[in-house]
Structure 1
Amino acid sequence: MYEPGKRHFGGLQGMAAKKLNLDDFLPYRLSVASNALSSRIAAEYQNRFGLKIPEWRLMAVLGEGVPRTQRELVAITHMDKVTVNRAAKALADRQLIARQAHAVDGRSHHLELTQTGRSLYDAIVPAALAAEEKLESALTRDERATLMKILVKLLATAENYA
């Protein structure tokens, strides 16, 4: 419990104050990097293909060729269900994905790319891979492998954070 006049740091009283340097704060640096990359990619996808990032993420997952429910898309993309719902609706309105009733769960639908969606996906993939290649040009192969391992660890830690 907070008491005025006492030092409180993560629940530990009496511990010397540790200053926060935002430039060295890992969550901040990850967020800034992610936002910068997403903004650049989002502008390209919006301008060239008329897609927002959540819509492209759904298309990327569905482009693997396996029909998915919205619940599965939420889990795979790590986006909230409202964002997935809006993106799915936008893609369906453009006839880029089709909804088919789930055989077991009548409240759920399987989503998959339509032929038009597949054509757009096939046009976007080279642009996505080119953006990734440009980004990765700043890294060595070993740095990329290390970064990927670190990101997997950080995501697992974040998902299990208590």
Structure 2
Amino acid sequence: MLQLETFLPYRINVLAKRVSKELARRYQDQFGISIPEWRVIAILGREQPLSSNDIVERSQMDKAKVSRAVARLVETGFLARAVHQQDQRLLRLSFTPAGRDLYERIAPLALEWERQLLDCLAPAEREELTRLLDRLDARLDRMAEE
């Protein structure tokens, strides 16, 4: 019989939702942004300019969710849209100065929150967790190809 409490996909989903809810509360309270908006900002903090499709691919978020997040970030002045030089149909997204400032304020807080969450694990356990997550991710890639 399927026991949800021990079924890995269920446990991972519940844990991910709990993490997102806690982060959403902090980001909403402190910065007035949602988790999808933060994910867009975090992705652009690593690489820009990008299209909305690039962000969908990197985040694994629903296209509509990314579209709403991008629209709000443009509306609030954190992102700018520019037409792609080679393909006029594509819009490239990048930070405005206010968006860069927001990223630079949130990123250290996100890293500190992650440190606090993982603080219950010994350094070797954190390394093992990373290795295990990487192995599961690679296994999903192989299963998708089969």
Please, what TM-score do these two structures have when normalized by structure 1?
0.83
How far apart are 1:21 and its partner, in Å? Answer: 1.3
Q: Distance in 1 between matches of 2:70 and 2:77?
A: 10
Shift of residue 147, structure 1, vs aligned partner: 1.3
1:35 alignment counterpart:
17
Counterparts in 2 of 1:115-154, with a 5 A limit? 115-154=97-136
134-143 vs 85-94, greater mean Cα deviation: 134-143
Q: Which runs of 4+ in 1 moved over 4 A?
A: none
Q: Given residue 69 of structure 2, which amino acid in structure 1 is its aligned partner?
A: A
Q: Does 1:92 align with 2:74?
A: yes
Q: Distance in 1 between matches of 2:72 and 2:136?
A: 31
CA distance in structure 1 between the partners assigned to 2:59 and 2:134 by the alignment:
14
Bigger helix share: 2
**SS of the counterpart of 1:106?**
coil
Alpha-carbon distance in 2 for matches of 1:107, 1:150:
40
CA–CA separation in structure 2 for the residues paired with 1:137 and 1:143: 10
Aligned partner of 1:63: which letter? G
Equivalent in 57, 73, 76 of residue 75 of structure 1: 57
Gaps of 5+ in 1: 1-18
Q: What is the distance in 1 between the residues matched to 2:33 and 2:111?
A: 16
Provide Cα deviations, 1:18-53, integer angstroms capped at 9, x if missing partner: x11111100011011111111111100011001100
- Listed one character per residue, the Cα deviations across residues 76-121 of structure 1 (whole Å, up to 9, x for unaligned) are 1111211111110010000100011011121111101100001111
2-side partners of 1:153 and 1:107: how far apart?
Answer: 38
Q: What secondary structure sits across from 1:63 in the alignment?
A: helix
Q: Percent identity?
A: 38
SS at match of 1:66: coil
Larger radius of gyration: 1
TM-score by length of 2: 0.92
Q: Secondary structure at the match of 1:68?
A: coil
